[in-house]
Amino acid sequence: MVMATMIINRKYRLYEAREMKKLKDEIIVFSIRDALDVSGEFKSREKLTRYPITGMKAYGT
């Protein structure tokens, strides 16, 4: 019984570590997308098609 509990706990810790890494990656991606979107927030789709956002400017503006 103790061995089974140890195996289950180990699998849970591995699962938990994967989920935490996934959450961390999602937060990083969200932050980058949010920062890039600031410069195109109030521009029309047509203008963004002609002049796509290719990087960040100082202070996100």
Tokens 């999602």 locate to 26
58 part of a folded domain: no
Domain count along the chain: 1
**Number of residues in the chain:** 61
**pLDDT of 30:** 86
Q: Rounded to the nearest 5°, which phi and psi values hold at 58?
A: -55, 135
Task: Give pLDDT tens digits for 2-61.
Answer: 666 766 677 777 778 888 888 899 999 888 877 777 667 777 888 888 988 777 766 655
Q: What's the domain range around 37? A: 2-53
Answer yes or no: are the C-beta atoms of 53 and 39 closer than 8 Å: yes
What is the distance between the alpha carbons of residues 47 and 32, in angstroms, rounded to a whole number?
21
Q: What's the rounded Cα separation, in Å, for the pair 14 and 22?
A: 12
pLDDT at position 4 = 64
Question: What pLDDT shows up at residue 39?
Answer: 67
pLDDT for the residue 31: 84
pLDDT at 3: 65
CA 33/CA 13 separation, integer angstroms: 30
